[in-house]
Amino acid sequence: MNAPTKPRVPWLLSWGRWAVYVLIFGLFVLKALYWLDPDFGWHLREGQDFLNGIWPTTDQYNFNAADYSWAAHEWLSDILMAGLFNFGGYALVAVVWGLFFTAGFWFAGKGKFGPAVLAAFLACLTFIGVRTVVFAFLGLGFLMWFMNYTWKSDKLKLALVLLIILLWSWLHGSFIIGIIYLIFRAIFVDKSWRLAGAALLGGLLTIIGPFGIELWREILAIMADGNLMWHISEWQPGINFWTITPLFMLWFMNFALNPPARLSRKNWRGWLYFARFDIALFLTSVKSIRNYPLFALSAIDAAHGSLLKLYTTTRPFKAARRLAMGLYIALILGLAYVAGRVYVPIVADMIDKQNVVLAVSGDNGFPNLIVERLKSTPCDGNVFNHYNIGGYLIWQLPESKVYIDGRMGTTWARPSDSELGEAGENYFATWDLINNGERAELSFSDVWFGPSDKDLYQYTEPAKLKQAEVFEKFNITCAIVRDDSKIYSYLQSQNWQTAVSDDNGWYLLTKAL
């Protein structure tokens, strides 16, 4: 007797699972070669310092923040980045980072339908690049696969959990998400107090490292800092609808196709249906868009379940199969549209400029003409700079310190009184006041639906007084600013001179003698 054959799954669902990961890897590397993350420079510089035996515990790169403590909670990934860059340049870093990123999706999407995995990847498009956050993808993806793997020995499994958390803590601060995932799973899935204990013990073991308990202080302070949510776009609430829509459709469809049991006050167990890790990550994503990539990774299973349920439900009925096939085709076209919207301009720009590695070229959007000028003719005093280029300047001008960069010092607040400033002073808020002026207080709805930040700013008298005070205190005689910033217009009105400008809107202004 012949063994029963498995029902054939439509090619639109099962198409080339390996091809999906090859595509994800290729698209990641393509975008990484095109776009340079603003924080790449300081990560690289920090990694090079570590390789040279320099392990600072205070800020070494800002002339106005030498009294701030600093725990590099991504020290191992910075060392890896610097080693790869020294050996093979930026392109090698982009390729290896692409492998890490793809591996995270491979672990999370193993055995899942290709369109479900690709929808999750496209939801992350605006976040991908040579960034240490790839270790959040790798860590969470691997941990989800690891916990679903059948182990013969529970003791070995729990011991490896400790090792995973420790290694993850050396690579990226997102290891806290891994601990939360393990506790969540221990309570609602495995019902294992041993696993919960291992997760908590793993958290304690993370103090093993060059920065000890300072690692936790730094990360928790960043998580509690409200300035990030209201001043840095990636930390603000919101939704990138055009990239997240395909995944959202599949994720919400899972709830419709697999509804919970009857919900009531008496049937409290039915409410446990909503005790899901992907729902928890979705709620954190609503608060801050930087969490959407991790939500996307956790939603692959539900997206796969939607497609599988739709297929098995409609398979016996010819008309329903045709309708489902139409939905599959619409999904594929939607995924192609999202990818094309991002990558067609990238490829066109690479062809136009005849350069594949635009991220570290003179056409990367950073103030390269100004950097060259400062290399040949340094500023007599200190340089005030825009937040988004601080990391780039730390890399390109190692002999000079910057005013501000993308490293998030502990809550941005000065720890104690010093010659640099008063205790409690928030130097990010000070930079924002000087660069942009004052703005109206934003409510949660303003961030979602209100006017743009530029329309809310006015260069008021407090901004002018703070600019004069800070520039005098730190002997700032040069400023790298954008032509659409309030500080640019104000300094020009104070007879500051344009020394260098470029086509990207960057200006080097120098103080009039």
Rounded to an integer, the average pLDDT of 68-93 is: 93
In the predicted model, is pLDDT for residue 3 greater than 70? no
pLDDT: which is higher, 414 or 332: 332
Residue range 275-328, pLDDT digits in tens: 788 888 888 888 778 888 899 999 999 998 888 888 787 776 677 667 777 777
Three-class secondary structure assignment of 426-462: EHHHHHHHHHHCEECCCCHHHHHHCCCHHHHEECCHH
Contacts 24+ apart (CB under 8 A), 329-332: 329/12, 331/115, 331/119, 331/246, 331/249, 331/250, 332/12, 332/115
Reading the block at residue 418, the tokens are 């010093």
Query: Rounded distance, CA 99 to CA 49, Å?
Result: 25
In the predicted model, is pLDDT for residue 411 greater than 70? no
When pLDDT is cut at 50, 70 and 90, the band that residue 457 belongs to is: confident
Cβ-based neighbour number of residue 311 at 10 Å: 20
Range name among 63-67, 109-113, 249-253, 326-330 with the lowest pLDDT average: 326-330
pLDDT: which is higher, 203 or 71: 203
pLDDT: which is higher, 445 or 117: 117
Distance of alpha carbon 255 from the chain centroid: 28
Task: Please report, rounded to a whole number, the percentage of residues in the chain having pLDDT higher than 70.
Answer: 86
Query: Rounded distance, CA 45 to CA 70, Å?
Result: 15
Tell me which residue of 497, 89, 464, 445 sits closest to 236, measured CA to CA: 445
Q: Can you tell me whether residue 265 is helix, strand or coil? A: coil
Q: What is the pLDDT of residue 338?
A: 83
pTM, two decimal places:
0.90
In the predicted model, is pLDDT for residue 215 greater than 90? no
When pLDDT is cut at 50, 70 and 90, the band that residue 270 belongs to is: low
Q: What is the pLDDT of residue 202?
A: 93
Cβ-based neighbour number of residue 456 at 10 Å: 16
Residue range 413-436, pLDDT digits in tens: 666 777 777 777 777 888 889 998
**What's the sign of the alpha-carbon dihedral 62, 66, 72, 78?**
positive
Query: Rounded distance, CA 20 to CA 298, Å?
Result: 17
Range name among 74-83, 126-135, 265-274, 460-469 with the lowest pLDDT average: 265-274
Range name among 127-141, 236-250, 298-312, 358-372 with the lowest pLDDT average: 236-250
In the predicted model, is pLDDT for residue 177 greater than 50? yes
Distance of alpha carbon 329 from the chain centroid: 31
Residue range 83-98, pLDDT digits in tens: 999 999 999 999 999 9
When pLDDT is cut at 50, 70 and 90, the band that residue 248 belongs to is: confident
Reading the block at residue 225, the tokens are 């800092």
Rounded to an integer, the average pLDDT of 160-188 is: 94
In the predicted model, is pLDDT for residue 268 greater than 70? no
Range name among 148-152, 247-251, 494-498 with the lowest pLDDT average: 148-152
Q: Following DSSP, what letter does each residue of 472-490 receive, concatenated?
A: HHTTEEEEEEETTSHHHHH
Reading the block at residue 19, the tokens are 């091809």
- Overall residue count recorded for the chain in this entry: 513
pLDDT: which is higher, 49 or 335: 49
